[in-house]
């Protein structure tokens, strides 16, 4: 009896592995052949091979991408149920470290949030970098400045420069629109654009929603702030950094330094279903489709990589 049971289990497992590989092959085919192949793909993967539910939570910046990819993945694998929740990077990391969720989405490396007493928890987490988000300094269009150097940005965000005329712009007081101290976007901007942490200044404005930040910068005379590339439009002026324009190509080539990975953390190595979903996130279908469509930069195309310490190396 015991023998028979384990036999069946082994058989089931191998079939799951074999069929899920088959499913992935189908997905790749779908990318190559366009829309028609997608239907065949759904037929091929009858939904029996992968099953289970995946719970992901965390970064609200990454949430739209994971949600959209999850929809597609569930269409192709009827037995899989994926739920994506927001809550913030800290929440995602906490919950994945405590095994409350399968995937913790984060804008920052786990080591940056889980420090000191929690460092062990960070070590247990496995990092999956699915996309890159670049952040650009933006100003109110009337400020009259196109580019700022690193030193000028540091001086502005530490309160040394208080008027746009000091950096070659209009005679207008500078109003800083910041993110809260715990924000991942602010951490990225401070470490890669400013190279230093900054204190909050009296009179500065802090908002946590990118939409609100954009609205305030667009309407407030003399405002300066920073936004992810996907939020940029004509209502705000995008500033070059040391003369380098914050464009997708410059980020991919490693010329523009202010960017960060979007991470999907699992606690230990992921199980079959979670692994299949994470692999799906890295397929061309998602990387050149949804990732680009939603304004992120495909992690797979990056010509440089960066580690926790911020050291950039060419791939």
Distances (CA, A) of 167 to 4, 200, 242: 78, 21, 13
- Report the residue from 71, 171, 219, 293 that binds another protein according to the rule CB under 8 A: 219
Q: How many CB atoms lie under 10 A from the CB of residue 234?
A: 8
- Residue 143 in 3-state DSSP? helix
Question: Using CA atoms, how far apart are residues 175 and 121, in angstroms rounded to an integer?
Answer: 39
Pull the structure tokens for residue 73. Answer: 């993945």
Residue 293 in the binding site for another protein (CB under 8 A): no
Draw the binding track, 183-212, toward another protein (x: CB under 8 A; -: no contact). Answer: xx--x---------x-xxxxxxxxxx---x
Which residue, 202 or 268, has its beta carbon nearer to another protein? 202
Draw the binding track, 85-124, toward another protein (x: CB under 8 A; -: no contact). Answer: -xxxxxx-xx--xx--------------xxx-xx------
Which residue, 87 or 289, has its beta carbon nearer to another protein? 87
DSSP string, 33-94: H-HHHHHHHHHHS-SSSS-EEEEEEE-TTTHHHHHHHHHHHHHH-TTEEEEEEEE-HHHHHH
Draw the binding track, 242-271, toward another protein (x: CB under 8 A; -: no contact). Answer: ------------------------------
Contact 246, 236 (CB under 8 A): no
Which of these ranges, 2-10, 80-88, 123-131, 300-308, lies near another protein under the rule CB under 8 A?
80-88
Draw the binding track, 150-189, toward another protein (x: CB under 8 A; -: no contact). Answer: -------------------------x----xxxxx--x--
Question: Using CA atoms, how far apart are residues 49 and 27, in angstroms rounded to an integer?
Answer: 14
Binding residues (CB under 8 A) for another protein: these are: 60, 86-91, 93-94, 97-98, 113-115, 117-118, 175, 180-184, 187, 197, 199-208, 212, 215-216, 219-220
């Amino acid at each position: 009896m015991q023998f028979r049971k384990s036999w069946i289990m082994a058989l089931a497992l191998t079939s799951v592995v074999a069929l899920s590989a088959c499913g992935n092959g189908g997905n790749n085919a779908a990318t190559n052949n366009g829309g028609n192949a997608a239907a065949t793909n759904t037929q091929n993967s009858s939904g029996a091979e992968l099953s289970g539910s995946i719970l992901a939570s965390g970064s609200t910046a990454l949430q739209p991408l994971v949600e959209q990819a999850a929809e597609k993945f569930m269409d192709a694998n009827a037995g899989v149920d994926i739920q994506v929740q927001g809550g913030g990077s800290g929440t995602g990391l906490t919950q994945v470290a405590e095994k409350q969720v399968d995937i913790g989405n984060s804008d920052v490396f786990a080591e940056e949030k889980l420090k000191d007493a929690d460092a062990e928890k960070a070590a247990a987490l496995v990092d999956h970098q699915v996309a890159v988000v670049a952040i650009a300094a933006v100003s109110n269009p009337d400020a009259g400045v196109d580019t700022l150097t690193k030193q000028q940005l540091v001086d502005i965000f530490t309160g040394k420069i208080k008027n746009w005329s000091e950096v070659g712009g209009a005679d207008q007081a500078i109003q800083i629109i910041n993110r809260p101290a715990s924000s991942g976007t602010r951490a990225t901007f401070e470490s890669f654009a400013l190279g230093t942490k900054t204190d909050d200044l009296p009179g500065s404005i802090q908002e946590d929603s990118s939409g609100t930040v954009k609205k305030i910068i667009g309407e407030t005379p003399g405002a300066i702030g920073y936004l992810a590339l996907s939020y940029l439009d004509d209502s705000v002026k995008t500033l070059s950094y040391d003369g380098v324009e914050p464009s997708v190509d410059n980020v991919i080539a490693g010329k523009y330094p202010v960017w960060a990975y979007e991470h999907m953390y699992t606690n230990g190595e992921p199980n079959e279903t979670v692994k299949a979903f994470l692999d799906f996130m890295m397929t061309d279908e998602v990387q050149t489709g949804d990732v680009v469509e939603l304004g992120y930069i495909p992690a797979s195309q990056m010509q440089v990589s960066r580690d926790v310490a911020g050291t950039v190396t060419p791939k």
